[in-house]
Structure 1
Amino acid sequence: MSVDMRTFLAHVELANPITTAAGCAASGRELAQFFDLHRLGALVTRSITMAPRAGRPTPRMAETPAGLLNAVGLQGPGVDAFLERELPWLAQRGIKTIVSIGGGTVAEYAALARRLSDAPGVTGVEVNLSCPNIEDRGRVFAREGGAAAEVIASVRSVMRYDVPVIAKLAPDVADIVAVARACVDAGADALSMINNPLGMSIDTVTLKPALAAVTGGLSGPAILPLAVRCVWQVHAALPGTPIIGVGGVLSGADAFQLVLAGACAVGVGTALFHDPYACLRIERELEDLLRARGFQRLADAVGLAHRPPGSPLRHQHEESSL
């Protein structure tokens, strides 16, 4: 028995729910050496900025138990080079591409969105809200609903109506549901969560922080329970909003947890650093798990863990949270 693995981000259909996570596959050329990118549900690019960025000084990555700290600093060629070289390469191959964007001001996010709005090959735009707002003492946009909503509204106002705007949320907030609701009210068509929580490691040999930037984003299996909790809470509050679950996914079982919590798609990130085939393996393992549990459609498993105890495992209701 085959399982229908199709899913939707707003009105956009994906052949399967597995995407790359922003920053972990650049713009796809590296992964294309290993497999056909059409086998992904979608490719999420690294976060594109207006100007080229060299990134932060080294060392900017450090392993931790069950995780990885990074402080790369949105290194990239800038939007001009992206539109000239990287996006056309993806568009010519018909790869479903979600472009991640990052900015330091609301106006910068809007300018990036405006540049992308007319560009062919953009399946969706993921707004990386974990950037410091240089107009508000460097406070990260994602940490306050009003600031996050202002960014989303500015992007939605200039983006083509047929391109979903996806707000990427951070877990380092007092109330992630409040931030999620503010983003949806401002025009976000979908949510991606979670971005990396902030962490730190100290080298006991040098007696100094392991990262030159002192702190960095924590990824890897250590953050999966945090991602599951955030997806669960937001899906419970906003069941009609599509969610891409991201954070610590190493296996189909990890992806299944996020789906049961309410994610209709799942991003794979750090796993790609040691297994470039991780997306394909995880999609296959997830399909095998769904089949083994009697599901005919991925959609029937989305948010199923929220159902009351004693509810039938397989449900045939017409409504879906997608």
Structure 2
Amino acid sequence: MLEVEIAGIKMKNPVMLASGICDLTKRSMERFSSAGAIVTKSVGIEERKGYKNPVFCETECGILNAIGLSNPGVDEYIKEIHEIKVDNLIASIFGKDENEFYNVAKKFSLYVKAIEMNMSCPHAKKVGMEYPLDEISFAVEHVKKTGKPVFVKLGMENILERAEKAIEGGADAIVAINSIRAMKICIDVGKPILGNKIGGYSGKGIKPIGVRCVYEISQNFDVPVIGVGGIMNAEDVIEYMMAGANVVQIGSLVYYEEEPFTRICKNLEEWLDKNGYSSINDIVGVALKR
């Protein structure tokens, strides 16, 4: 009932662990074996220290973070994950140009089912959302040379233009959306809370934006879409899939709930059965036809 396939990858359910939360170590990722796939932390060609503390704070309707893409570098990270026991490990990578993207992807290619190109981090300088529009397709073409399916993660900014460039480069799926550029100020001292001042906003507050982006991508392009942003329950998964998402990712919810995947999948099956669906694939894009 919940089995899906994207870019040739078969998944037992349509719910992935998103990049950026509980995915630094082999042990932390193996906790989420009930997910259909696991996306690693975003990893670059070399170690990156990230920003000074504080790098994280809660808001009324979500979470702000400005970690700065801190990671140990691809060679060290592979030592952590090369014997991991999870279904469908996907590597999230970033780079400042097409050569960096390719070199990181090539190192990962022996250990993962697919590559997710993070081209939308809202607070990392010179990478992420600052990646030049006219160079996106070239970078995707380079990563495609690894022979692995390539997913491109985009933010809400100029998403249709950037999606078009990613698809021109051969993207096998678009991941939408990343966290949203935002900030929070401590009024007691009159200064931004985060060490970097500006961070990425995630959590339930961004779900309507994510749903809209998935809908518009699905409306304009013939490409699989992975929906992410603010998913808290089975109903949110259904909404994203009706907007056109083939599968989804969950991130911030893991901060509040130790293992939400089993609960959500159980509730998805109950909803599908109650509403007369034999497969979750039958709800994909329903809202696009109305």
The alignment's TM-score, normalised by the length of structure 2, stands at 0.93
Q: Which whole-Å deviations, capped at 9, do the CAs of 1:182-218 have from their partners, x for residues lacking one?
A: 1111110111110111001111111100111010000
Q: Which whole-Å deviations, capped at 9, do the CAs of 1:98-122 have from their partners, x for residues lacking one?
A: 11001122221111112123x2x31
The alignment partner of 1:98 has SS state of strand
Residue in 2 aligned with 1:69? 64
For residues 183 and 50 of structure 1, the distance between their equivalents in structure 2, rounded to whole angstroms, comes to 21
Q: 1:10 aligns with which of 7, 10, 33?
A: 7
Query: RMSD value over aligned CA atoms?
Result: 2.0
Residue in 1 aligned with 2:112? 122
Q: 1:30 aligns with which of 21, 25, 28?
A: 28
The answer as to whether partners of 1:31 and 1:276 remain within 8 angstroms in 2 is no
For residues 285 and 88 of structure 2, the distance between their equivalents in structure 1, rounded to whole angstroms, comes to 25
Q: CA deviation at 1:14?
A: 1.0
Residue in 2 aligned with 1:258? 240
| 1:89-100 mapped onto 2 (5 Å cutoff) | 89-90=83-84, 93=85, 95-100=87-92
Q: 1:223 aligns with which of 200, 203, 206?
A: 206
| 1:158-169 mapped onto 2 (5 Å cutoff) | 159-160=146-147, 163-169=148-154
> What are the ranges of 5 or more consecutive residues in structure 2 without an aligned counterpart?
none
| 1:1-322 mapped onto 2 (5 Å cutoff) | 4-27=1-24, 28-33=26-31, 37=33, 39-84=34-79, 86-90=80-84, 93=85, 95-117=87-109, 119=110, 121-130=111-120, 138=126, 140-141=128-129, 145-157=133-145, 159-160=146-147, 163-173=148-158, 176-238=159-221, 240-308=222-290
The alignment partner of 1:48 has SS state of coil
Q: CA deviation at 1:30?
A: 1.8
The alignment partner of 2:139 has SS state of helix
For residues 127 and 75 of structure 1, the distance between their equivalents in structure 2, rounded to whole angstroms, comes to 16
| Pair member with larger Rg | 1
Q: Which whole-Å deviations, capped at 9, do the CAs of 1:45-73 have from their partners, x for residues lacking one?
A: 11011112222100111111111110011
Q: Which whole-Å deviations, capped at 9, do the CAs of 1:2-58 have from their partners, x for residues lacking one?
A: xx211111111111100001011214522535x6x1x21101111011112222100
Which amino acid is 1:122 matched to?
Answer: V
Q: CA deviation at 1:281?
A: 1.6
Q: CA deviation at 1:131?
A: 5.0
The alignment's TM-score, normalised by the length of structure 1, stands at 0.84
Q: Which whole-Å deviations, capped at 9, do the CAs of 1:283-317 have from their partners, x for residues lacking one?
A: 22222222221111111100111113xxxxxxxxx
The alignment partner of 1:89 has SS state of coil
Quote the sequence identity (%). 32
Which amino acid is 1:6 matched to?
Answer: E
